[in-house]
Chain A
Amino acid sequence: MPRPSRKSTNSQFSQPSTSHATQRVSESESSDEENNKSRRKKSQLSQSQIHSTVNIELLTTNLVKYVINHSCNKIPMKRADLTKQLTIPRKEFDEIFEGAQEILKNVYGLELTEIPETKSSKLLITYSSIPLVTPLQMNDEETKDMQLLFIILSYLFMKNADIPEDNVINFMNQLGIEAEDFTKSREIFIKQLYLKRNKVEIEGKNDAYFTLSWGERAKLEFDKKQILEAVAKIMEKSPQAFINQYHAAHGHDPNQSQNLTQVSMIIDD
């Protein structure tokens, strides 16, 4: 959301002044001198405990605001960025994070979750924890994006593996979607973690190629059962006719015994 009335300074961020004073209490371990001071202060523990509660509450509120401001375009947040920008002490991160998770879920119906990016860095995304009742709840642009995404994800799911990107582009062409438009949307979907693009290199061949698969966000937001049901309906077949997809949607290995399938079918009925 634009904030035109104030100067646009997302690069020149300055922390709200209220959090500075209490910050020191929790960060004091970093320096020896400060450490000694805090030891001397042990007699005033109750005072610092009060500070620390206030601090945690304030930081939790700030984290909720931050997450809401950074959720509108679905680009993941970097955990390292927000801990730095909100000056969240490492020691208290879990408590603050859990507090914010609870508020986001209770008030906004949003799930805040961590997704590992690399071994050391983590990404944060939010997605709705309540079912979408009608597409009217989304804005027009999002509706258009979701329609295209649903087709792509369904295609990938029915093909049952990482699919060479060229195949997806060909499929899109058949639907009258230009390669250029697809590429533009694909870039956004990858950034939003709906799609994952992998480079495949074959030994002895010069040309590497790319495959597409479901991204982490897609796995959280889309129900494979619903996709299978939708596709089966279009094909005028029963979802069970697609045996591999049926097993994948219902979360077990297709090579396992037939009995399990029947059991799960009964449960699902």
Chain B
Amino acid sequence: MVLDLEDYSDIHRATLQTVMNHGTIEEERLCQIFKLVCEKFTQYQQNDEEAKRNLDRVVETINEKISRFDQTVIKHKYGLNEIEYYVFTSTAKTALAKLQNCFNEFELEYFKQMFTNIIINERLCIKPRDALNLQSNLNGKVTKIRAEKLTDLWITTGYFYRNNDLIYLGPKSISEFAETIQNLGLDHIKKCSLCEDIAAWGITCNSCKTATFHKQCIQKFLARSEKCPSCKKEWTQSMEQ
């Protein structure tokens, strides 16, 4: 028995709905759901490895369908924990995209302030208490309780990421606002010298001290060569930074 993924089906729709509901979801978790969905709709059973491959194919087909609505599902390996995520992102630049009913203008302003304060920090993080205090800039339009709730919500949807009691820039922010972040031209936000995408918490070469890489990009490269792709000197940097 083979799993037929040629036609756009309820398998695709259920997968899309799941990613949309979560905003950001770990590959492992989505994969488990995907297996259950396939089994329910087609009685097809598969192991984890096959499910991951099929899931990638399904996401590709979904993207062909939703790109005309300025949406895309991005697979993102998050630099801070090296976990793969699927992220539902909106690529729209028009005024229409701003029309939504989930957050009011003050709540969006609170998000903007949190985002800005995180992005200017070298480690791309903020203390939860400092984040909460930003609420006082909004003349009481966002209460402390609401600010806490919003922060939690933005952490679950992947805009932010909580680790060791700090709030970091999350996988969804890095995927959705990649262009904006790059355009800011901040010195501490480096591009990966191999793939050119943002390398937040990337690894820098010990010799030239300038070239920065995603961990997975440099690992792949070093499997073939032992030199820094940029300065061509021997790679001496540890992978645990």
Residues of A within 8 A of B (CB): 1-6, 8-11, 13-16, 61-62, 64-66, 68-70, 72-73, 75, 77, 85-86, 106-110, 128, 130-131, 133-134, 136-142
Contacts and interface: CB of A to CB of B under 8 A. Distances in A.
Contact of B95 (A1, A16, A107, A136): A16
B153 to A, nearest CB: 7
B200 to A, nearest CB: 16
Tell me if B's interface is mostly helix, strand, loop or mixed: helix
Contacts of B20: 68, 72, 108
A64 B21 CA distance: 17
Contacts, number: 133
Interface stretch (B65-73, B190-198, B203-211): B65-73
Interface of B: 8, 10, 13-14, 16-18, 20-23, 29, 32-33, 36-37, 40-41, 65-66, 68-71, 90, 92-105, 107-109, 111-112, 115-116, 153-154, 156-157, 159, 177, 180
A17 B159 CA distance: 30
A65 B96 contact: yes
B69 A65 contact: yes
Contact of A6 (B68, B98, B102): B98
Say what secondary structure dominates the interface of chain A. loop
Contacts of A130: 10, 13-14, 17
A106 to B, nearest CB: 7
Contacts of B94: 16
Given A3-B108, A107-B65, A133-B40, A13 B98 contact: yes
A6 B29 CA distance: 32
A140 B156 contact: yes
Given A2-B111, A70-B101, A134-B33, A108 B17 contact: yes
Contacts of B97: 3, 65, 69
**Interface-centre pick from B68, B93, B97, B100 (highest chain A CB count, 10 A):** B100
B99 A141 contact: no
Given A1-B100, A3-B98, A10 B105 contact: yes
Given A61-B68, A72-B20, 14 more contacts: A1-B23, A3-B90, A3-B98, A4-B115, A8-B98, A9-B95, A14-B95, A65-B69, A73-B101, A107-B16, A109-B16, A137-B18, A137-B37, A140-B156
Nearest to B100: A69
Given A10-B105, A72-B102, A109-B10, A139 B68 contact: no
Contacts of B92: 65
Contact of A10 (B10, B17, B98, B159): B98
A213 to B, nearest CB: 25
Given A10-B99, A10-B100, A139-B23, A109 B17 contact: yes
B105 to A, nearest CB: 5
- Among A14, A86, A110, A134, chain B packs the most CB atoms within 10 A around the CB of A134
A4 B177 contact: yes
B77 to A, nearest CB: 22
Nearest to B105: A8
- Would you list the 6 A-B pairs with minimal beta carbon distance, nearest first? A109-B13, A8-B108, A5-B180, A2-B111, A4-B112, A69-B100
A2 B101 contact: no
Nearest to A142: B21
B100 A70 contact: yes
Contact of B99 (A5, A72, A85, A138): A85
11 contacts: A3-B90, A4-B115, A4-B177, A8-B108, A68-B20, A70-B101, A75-B101, A107-B13, A133-B14, A137-B17, A137-B21
A137 B33 contact: yes
A136 B96 contact: no
B156 A4 contact: no
A80 to B, nearest CB: 15
From A4, A66, A106, name the one whose CB has the most chain B CB atoms within 10 angstroms. A4
A8 B109 contact: yes
A93 B54 CA distance: 39
A16 B99 CA distance: 12
Given A109-B14, A137-B21, A2 B95 contact: no
A12 B204 CA distance: 44
A69 B156 CA distance: 18
A1 B69 contact: no
A136 B101 contact: no
A13 B111 CA distance: 19
Contacts of B107: 2
Contacts of A73: 101-102
